[in-house]
Chains A and B, each alone.
Chain A
């Protein structure tokens, strides 16, 4: 196949995907989005069987996916999946509607109403921006005063998105969370992200350790992948004190360097193989 790879930074993941695709005998066309231009009104189909979307910048991913789909390309992940995964409010709403366990979540649009919500949920709790990654702007309020301080800061930020107060119960994790990968209906590999900090993102120093995939983990991950629209996804799962699992968020432009290095599993080859299989149908 002729496979495009739309990217803005050539990291471990992008180079690994290119190498995997070429290793499987496919032709790869890297698309450096920062230098690219696309016609929206007179699109030109680049003649690719599909494009893997790899832009680190969400808005470059968003814009280039729109343009590529307009030009007739199949993009992985598609615009709907990309958009829904990028917004925590949409993600939590879709998962909850599909009966998938998620942390108790409320949304409020004023500081006064946010405080009422917080008092009902109880402390500690977590306040997050509805868009954002790598743990940015995610805050834990241990009591009412901290919560009010957090909301005050958010209300005074110029970004109107920060005035959408996405408030969740705090889950007391066992010093780790789980990042598990969904690839077109399969669940090939997972890691624990271990950290003494309450934010376990590897971008913030969380350490990757292989995680065995239980039947329960597999089932919740498959349900999550299907609920979000299928594709290639990274699912973040929290373990509750009573052995339960909650889906925290879903990622559509996945990072997997730490997963590959800590597990030895060739995820980039799996991604290309399965995507080719799906699109050959």
Chain B
């Protein structure tokens, strides 16, 4: 799939789950695997760490 930041192809395994994180090896962007309402896969820039994240 294409990195939404730099357009380079990012390898995403077939068994990836929505919410799974990947890093674009080219631009270093943290990316999140998503599926739209029709189930079509894609990548978006991952959310920044929020104040309530953690254990």
Contacts and interface: CB of A to CB of B under 8 A. Distances in A.
Interface of A: 7-11, 14-15, 18, 30, 32, 34-35, 56-59, 131-134, 136, 203, 234, 251-255
A9 B55 contact: no
A10 B31 CA distance: 12
A60 B50 CA distance: 12
B54 A56 contact: yes
Interface in B3-49: 16-21, 32-33
B37 to A, nearest CB: 9
A31 to B, nearest CB: 11
Contacts of B19: 7-10, 32, 34
Contacts of A234: 55
Interface residues of B, number: 14
A18 B19 CA distance: 14
Given A134-B53, A134-B55, 12 more contacts: A9-B21, A10-B16, A10-B20, A11-B20, A14-B17, A18-B17, A30-B17, A131-B52, A132-B52, A133-B55, A251-B55, A252-B55
A255 B21 CA distance: 16
Q: Would you list the 9 A-B pairs with minimal beta carbon distance, nearest first?
A: A133-B54, A251-B55, A10-B20, A10-B17, A58-B52, A134-B54, A10-B19, A32-B18, A56-B53
Contact of A15 (B17, B50, B54): B17
Contacts of A30: 17
Contacts of B16: 10
Interface of B: 16-21, 32-33, 50-55
Contacts, number: 55
A136 B55 CA distance: 12
B41 to A, nearest CB: 13
Contacts of B52: 57-59, 131-132
Contacts of B21: 9-11
B53 A133 contact: yes
A177 to B, nearest CB: 14
B50 A57 contact: yes
30 contacts: A7-B17, A7-B19, A8-B19, A9-B19, A9-B21, A10-B18, A10-B19, A10-B33, A11-B21, A32-B17, A32-B18, A32-B19, A34-B19, A35-B18, A56-B54, A57-B50, A57-B52, A57-B53, A58-B52, A58-B54, A132-B51, A132-B52, A133-B53, A134-B53, A134-B55, A136-B51, A136-B54, A253-B55, A254-B55, A255-B55
Which of B18, B21, B32 gathers the greatest number of chain A CB atoms within 10 Å? B18
Contacts of B51: 132, 136
A14 B52 CA distance: 18
Nearest to A179: B55
Contacts of A134: 53-55
